[in-house]
A and B are shown apart, each in its own frame.
Chain A
Amino acid sequence: MSMKLEHVSYTYMPGTPYEKEALRDVSLEIKKGEFVAVIGHTGSGKSTLVQNLNGLLHPTKGTASLDGVDLSGKTKEAKAARERIGMVFQYPEHQLFAETVYEDIAFGPQNMGLNHDATDARVQEAMKFVGLDFETYAGRSPFSLSGGQMRRVAIAGVVAMNPDYLILDEPSAGLDPGSRNAVFSEVMELYKKKNIGIIMVTHSMEDAAQFAKRMLVVSQGQIIIDGRPGEVFLKEKKRLLEVGMDVPEVYKLADLLRAKGLRLPGEITDAKTLLAEVKKRKGLK
């Protein structure tokens, strides 16, 4: 089970003066159960990359496939394959449209041809997943909710389609730290319970470090780094800065502590570990 890009290039507006090659000969495999962060500066090609992965854009050259089914096809199999890849866009709360939370979440399953009962079950399950009480919220207008709640409704709408792969574009942009943690605890629960594949586009180095198991760094239409976040942030700091990225705060703090003579192990990926190590070195409980 995997999604694959094989020698994919993508050119916007080919044959016009505005022609722009956004992806250049990219090959990539993502398996079900992986949690992959995609980082890169504005215009690096990361959005084009994920849109090729889920069949919203079709490669100019090369193929994008899911379990061997070409996503650009017009066959039933291709359509079914595309439906298995859910996409939560940036600021998904802007895409809510229905009169009630229930109708908004039910839209996807209904379009997939599910009957009333099956749709209902999906909506209930999805709402539970994102922590919205069915009785309280199902009948309410999505536009009467807070920003964080609206984002959860939007995520529920995609979850209700029961995707095998979920693509999240900037899931924490514009959220306060508390709402960010709430959204991610739901995403992680979904990830663990259903063992889906998650591909997360993000500008937040902290999000990538904290949640992803694998990280792709995109620059000028190519994947220039592919590795474990812990290792990449430790070993590729210089290159990350060169392509407009950064390292998480915890790496910066660990570096400074090392510079002051504090001996710390190589890979410190979160505040808890850092704290424990400092305590150990200082002989604190």
Chain B
Amino acid sequence: MEPVIEVSGLKHVYTDAENTQVTALDNISLQIMPGEFVAVIGANGSGKSTLARHLNALLLPTEGHVKIKGMDTLEEENLWSIRQNVGMVFQNPDNQIVAAIVEEDVAFGPENIGVPAEEIRKRVDDALAAVDMTAYRNHAPHLLSGGQKQRVAIAGTLALGSDCIVLDEPTAMLDPKGRREILGTMLCLNKEKSITVVYITHFMTEAMQADRVIVMSEGKICFQGTPKEVFSRVTELEKLGLEAPLAAKVAFELRKSGARLPEGIISNEELAEALAGAFRE
């Protein structure tokens, strides 16, 4: 199978306000396969958002290459096709809404690329259904909750025909219910529609749900693996300004005090199960 996203030797250098050269991304190589759900975590300034912007050619490599389904972002004729394939959802739900009615907002993308009217109707209906927002299709977007606005933004990328969605801290500004809605929506799109997901977040409990977690620091990929592999590295995460999920931290401390617990405990359920077992002994 061909990767959806293939990043090789990617370097991104920019000049900051003090006129110094900053290397935001340093020799990143990465492959993301169709249907994968990949979480990206890292401290502020580690390069996560810069990486995200390379994935649909909002930024272009200083060195190296980013290819989307084989299309190099450095070749200008690929831009439209790349941006239809990879949808982006940003942090602030209020900055991504362009229309006064929900369904018009979702239709904005396909209209722009000249999709025929009937096809637009179908795409918008399907996209709104996929994010469970059909009931709100005639609403004014500014009156929706943060979670609902983000779901409209997700629907916008679906209507454009994207089968890969990159989300840059989509839940940072949302209340707990909104956070649950967005993560739930993305997990569902991933499972049921095989949408490839790249999900940047500071919430480790969200990253735990991914197939793979990539940890970034100072413009590099520090380590990556399954959530179990990554979140078992409690001390290393802390050194990077990150935090393992609560259950992983508690399990880590218990082991230090001599408790014999199985490896790879990261969720509350796993820890409760392991401790219950330990108590029956």
Q: A203 to B258, Cβ gap below 8 A?
A: no
Interface check A176, CB cutoff 8 A: yes
Q: Are B246 and A271 in contact (CB under 8 A)?
A: yes
Contact status B169-A174, CB under 8 Å: yes
Give the chain A neighbours of B145 by CB distance below 8 A: 41-43
Contact of A256 with B272 in the complex, beta carbons under 8 Å = yes
Contact across chains for B146 and A42 when beta carbons are under 8 A apart: yes
Residue of B nearest to A145 (CB): B17
Of B69-77, B125-133, B172-180, B219-227, the one contacting chain A is B172-180
In the complex, what residues of A have CB within 8 A of residue B17's CB?
Answer: 141, 143-144
- Rounded to whole Å, the gap between the CB of A186 and the closest CB of chain B is 16
Which range contains the number of B residues in contact with the other chain? 35 or more
Query: Which residues of B, 125-166, contact A by the 8 Å Cβ criterion?
Result: 145-147
Contact with B43, one of A41, A179, A246, A285 (Cβ below 8 angstroms) = A179
A259 contacts partner chain B, Cβ-Cβ < 8 Å: yes
Q: Choose the segment among B31-39, B113-121, B247-255 that binds chain A (4+ C-beta atoms closer than 8 Å).
A: B247-255
With contact pairs A279-B254, A282-B259 given, residues A177 and B242 touching in the complex (Cβ less than 8 Å):
yes
* A274 at the B interface (CB under 8 A): yes
List residues of A (256-285) whose CB comes within 8 Å of B's CBs.
256-257, 259-262, 271, 274-275, 278-279, 281-282, 284-285
Query: CB distance A177 to B202 under 8 Å?
Result: yes
Q: How far is the CA of A246 from the CA of B16 in the complex (A)?
A: 40
The interface residues of chain B lying within 8 Å CB-to-CB of A285 are 257-258
Choose the segment among A58-66, A80-88, A247-255 that binds chain B (4+ C-beta atoms closer than 8 Å). A247-255
State whether the Cβ of B245 lies closer than 8 Å to any Cβ in chain A: yes
- Total number of residue pairs linking A and B with CB closer than 8 Å: 125
Q: How far is the CA of A253 from the CA of B172 in the complex (A)?
A: 23
B250 touches A275 (CB 8 A): yes
Report A-chain residues with C-beta under 8 Å of the C-beta of B16.
144
The residues of A that contact B147 with a CB separation of less than 8 Å are 42
Taking a contact as CB atoms under 8 Å apart, the answer to whether B43 and A176 are in contact is yes
Nearest A residue (CB) for B242:
A177
Task: Say if the beta carbon of A115 comes within 8 Å of chain B.
Answer: no
B146 contacts across to A, CB distance below 8 A? 42
Structural contact, B44 and A175, CB atoms closer than 8 A: yes
Assuming the contacts A175-B44, A176-B44, A275-B254, asked whether A245 and B177 have C-beta atoms less than 8 A apart, the reply is: yes
Q: Which residues of A contact B (CB under 8 A)?
A: 40-43, 90, 140-141, 143-144, 146-148, 170, 173-179, 203, 205, 244-246, 249-250, 252-253, 256-257, 259-262, 271, 274-275, 278-279, 281-282, 284-285
Interchain residue pairs with CB less than 8 A apart (12): A41-B178, A42-B146, A148-B44, A170-B173, A244-B175, A244-B177, A256-B269, A256-B272, A257-B271, A257-B275, A259-B272, A260-B276
| Other A-B pairs beyond A141-B18, A249-B205, A256-B269, 7, CB < 8 Å | A42-B147, A174-B202, A176-B241, A203-B173, A203-B174, A245-B175, A256-B268
